[in-house]
Amino acid sequence: MNDKLNDQNIYVRAAFPGEIITINHDREIADALKLLGSESLIGFDTETKPAFKKGEVYQVSLLQLATPEFALLFRLHSLEDFSLLKIFFEDESIKKIGVAIRDDIRSLQKTFPFEARGFVELSEMAKIHQLKNFGLKGMTEEVLKLTLSKRAKLSNWESQILKNDQKLYAATDAWIGREIYIALNNSKK
């Protein structure tokens, strides 16, 4: 029997349940980060405009941070003052949870320097818990019995206005990592 998800939508599609807030200006950063409150588990992800030509490389376009209530989408190309994000990323008491975060961190550090503290790589947890899948989509299916749409992944994250499907995709990708982390910590493996 094939363990992979087929086209018959075996699982319900995961969708971020909270409010999605886009941050386009430096003056919005402080208030946005306050929405994370005293939450110590934050879903983390980034999006970059896809490159289709050899040698073509883009900087990170979007930073996503999520709790169950709020997903913050930081449009990095429209921001200049990263001091509050630097403080956030260097805070060891806040777990920033995601998949393939090493590349995300390196890419973000090209935009603004920071020491990465408190980051949790879900693929390492997947190995410890002997999961079959190490990617976000596969772990979502295996651990949460939900599926992720990856349709918006290759969209233009640098477009002037993000479409609603892009916002939902970005929010869901950050939030679902947090949910997988909680589920794995609550499992008995």
pLDDT score at 6: 45
Provide CATH code, domain 12-186: 3.30.420.10
Model pLDDT for residues 130-140, shown as the tens digit of each residue: 999 899 999 99
Residue whose C-alpha is closest to residue 12's, from 147, 136, 152, 143 = 147
Model pLDDT for residues 120-172, shown as the tens digit of each residue: 999 999 999 999 989 999 999 999 999 888 766 667 888 889 999 999 999 99
With a pLDDT cut of 90, the percent of the chain lying above it is 75
The mean per-residue pLDDT over the stretch 63-75 comes to 98
For residue 128, the SS3 value is helix
106 to each of 10, 72, 98, 102, 114, how far by Cα in Å? 36, 20, 14, 6, 10
Model pLDDT for residues 84-130, shown as the tens digit of each residue: 999 999 999 999 999 999 999 999 999 999 999 999 999 999 999 99
Can you tell me the distance from the alpha carbon of 125 to that of 57, in angstroms, rounded to the nearest whole number?
Answer: 30
Q: Where are the domains of the chain?
A: 12-186
pLDDT score at 55: 64
pLDDT score at 144: 93
